[in-house]
């Protein structure tokens, strides 16, 4: 049986947050060996794993598959991580107003 390795950014996010495989494993209730398999793609990042890992890594599940945190503006990531979960909808609304103004050709 041939295994296909699906690229993901789990390792990049773990390192971005300053966690070891062992520490991340402790935080999500597994072992370092499982985290290693997930990072390498030898074990797929199922929806279950994405939902467990993303909150610990302070990101969205899809970001673990699509975004390398080293290629993003760290200021935005850090500000977002500091916004309490219950206030993130409000923060998104504020950010969306900037996008709407830009689309309408208006300035800030």
Better pLDDT: 14 or 78: 14
Counting Cβ atoms within 10 Å, is residue 53 exposed (0-12), middle (13-18) or buried (19+)?
buried
Task: Sketch the domain layout of the chain as residue ranges.
Answer: 1-71, 73-108
Cα separation, 50 vs 107, in Å, equals 38
- Given a cut of 70, whether residue 5 has pLDDT beyond it is no
Going by the DSSP 8-state scheme, the letter that residue 20 receives in this structure is: -
The DSSP code sequence of 95-108 is: HHHHHHHHHTT---
Report the predicted TM-score, pTM, of the whole model to 2 decimal places. 0.69
pLDDT at 104: 66
Above 80 in pLDDT, residue 95? Answer: yes
CATH class, range 1-71: mainly alpha
Which residues lie closer than 8 Å to 51 by C-beta, 6 or more apart? 61
Name which of 60, 6, 47, 54 is nearest 28 in CA terms: 54
Tell me the pLDDT tens digit for each residue of 71-83. 877 777 778 888 9
């Amino acid at each position: 049986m041939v295994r296909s390795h699906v690229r993901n950014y789990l390792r990049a996010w773990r390192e971005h947050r300053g966690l070891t495989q062992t520490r991340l494993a402790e935080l999500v209730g597994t072992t370092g060996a499982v985290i290693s398999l997930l990072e390498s793609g030898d074990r797929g990042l199922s929806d279950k794993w994405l939902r467990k890992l993303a909150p610990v890594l302070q990101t969205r599940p899809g970001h673990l598959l699509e975004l390398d945190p080293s290629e993003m503006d760290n200021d935005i990531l850090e500000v977002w991580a500091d916004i309490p979960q219950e206030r993130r909808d409000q923060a998104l609304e504020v950010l969306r107003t900037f996008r709407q103004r830009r689309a309408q050709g208006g300035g800030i």
